[in-house]
Amino acid sequence: MNYSDAERAAAKLEELGYKQALDDKDADLILLVTCSVRKSAEDRVYGAINNYHKKKLYPKLKTIILSGCMANRPEVVKKADKADIFLDIKDLNKLPEFLKKESKAGYVETYFSVKPRYQSSFTAYVPIMTGCNNFCSYCIVPYVRGREESRSSEEIIAEVKDLIAQGFKEIILLGQNVNSYKPATAAAIKDFPDLLEYLAKLPGNFWLSFITSHPKDLSDKLIKVIARNKSAGGGSAFGGKICEYISLPVQSGDNEILKKMNRKYTISQYKKLVKKIRKQIPGVAISTDVIVGFPGETEKRFLNTVKLFQKVKFDMAYINQYSPREGTASAKLKDDVPKIEKKKRDKELNDVLIQTALEINKKLIGQVLDALVYQKSKGDIWLGKTRTFKVVKFKSKKNLLGKFVKVKINKAESFGLIGKSIDSSKKL
């Protein structure tokens, strides 16, 4: 979401006459789009702001703008007093006023309406909503991003159509909880599955995916829409537009901890949901987010998360060690799991993930998968992303950046695949 916000902020600055500096050292203005999810991320921002004040290192720098989640926290504004402007990203329209510059584009209704300066020519992030009403007890997002606000479906459709016309190959829809999407205008598109299906039916050569889904809100309707519009071959043949990938943050494998986290589902409900998704969308990849060392997470409760990992066998997991965020409900609880123990649990879960992800990936050996090439590595090695968000390495002398290729998988690793490109010109 921050990456996407930064693309809109960059566009607004360009409209005001600024040009992108190739190095921070050449910049006379720096706009930081910050994240408040973890304390370590905030600390890095304080460090960066202090550093930017070293005249010897940044001789041209006159203005530091602090935007993103940190800009909405009064305690940060106090602490980061070396920044010149604090900008709520929703106030992007006010940037000309703050910088005392004339806006050529004039007023746009919401910051969503600012046409972004996309960083890639083939992958685009399209926000469909912002904010969150869920108030998970550890999370700062509802406080810094505010309540849920859905973007108009007309505006989203217009942005996606424009991206397809420009030749973008991968469109990733963004929202703190895409399943809460509710456009204000009563039209044919009433919810997220309606929007996803509408976009999937647009003509063009592109993939659609989305992040992220709260397990309590992922509906049967959405599963059916994905199943109807996914690739015919379970992720291995060119077919439908919607990628077979679902990010489904579980956060803990223990019911008591889930209750304390205010997640509003039980582990048995989560497992049933995974089962349903896998049954209806064969070949789907499921990733998760999990927090280790939440207050009250005894060894026994943590082992429930280990068991869940062993049972569900995730394709990928983002494991976070708990750190209290001031202002959230869980910050009032005693942070009673020592740091060293959090680190140990992080490693233990990661070890399970390494094994199960390898098991899943080994089943792909011999299959021919579609991939979107996103980066050149060393020599003739290219990196592609499969429809299931797996990184695949292969060799080619051709310039394949931003192209769809077919790759035959020869080798599997826990967090990647290795294969041979067999085609680079087929269309969806």
Q: Which residues bind ligand SF4 (CB under 6 A)?
A: 132, 134-136, 139, 141-142, 176-177, 214
> Is it true that the peptide bond before 356 is cis, omega within 30 degrees of 0?
no
Nearer to ligand SF4, 141 or 364 (CB): 141
Q: How far apart are the C-alpha atoms of 359 and 353, rounded to whole Å? A: 10
Q: How far apart are the C-alpha atoms of 131 and 139, rounded to whole Å? A: 12
Shortest Å distance, C-beta 134 to ligand SF4: 4
Shortest Å distance, C-beta 123 to ligand SF4: 23
Alpha carbon 16 to its chain centroid, in Å, reads 29
Residues 6+ apart with CB under 8 A from 395: 379, 380, 381, 382, 420, 421
Shortest Å distance, C-beta 211 to ligand SF4: 11
Nearer to ligand SF4, 137 or 231 (CB): 137
Tokens of 206: 């592109």
Nearer to ligand SF4, 129 or 417 (CB): 129
User: Hey, which bits of 313-366 come out as E strands?
Assistant: 316-321
Shortest Å distance, C-beta 264 to ligand SF4: 10
Nearer to ligand SF4, 176 or 361 (CB): 176
Amino acid code (one letter) for 239: G
Nearer to ligand SF4, 130 or 153 (CB): 130
In this structure, what DSSP letter does residue 146 have? -
Q: How far apart are the C-alpha atoms of 140 and 256, rounded to whole Å? A: 21
Nearer to ligand SF4, 134 or 396 (CB): 134
Q: How many helices (DSSP H) and strands (DSSP E) are in the chain? A: 12, 16
- Backbone angles phi and psi of 31, in degrees to 5: -110, 120
Shortest Å distance, C-beta 321 to ligand SF4: 16
Shortest Å distance, C-beta 274 to ligand SF4: 18
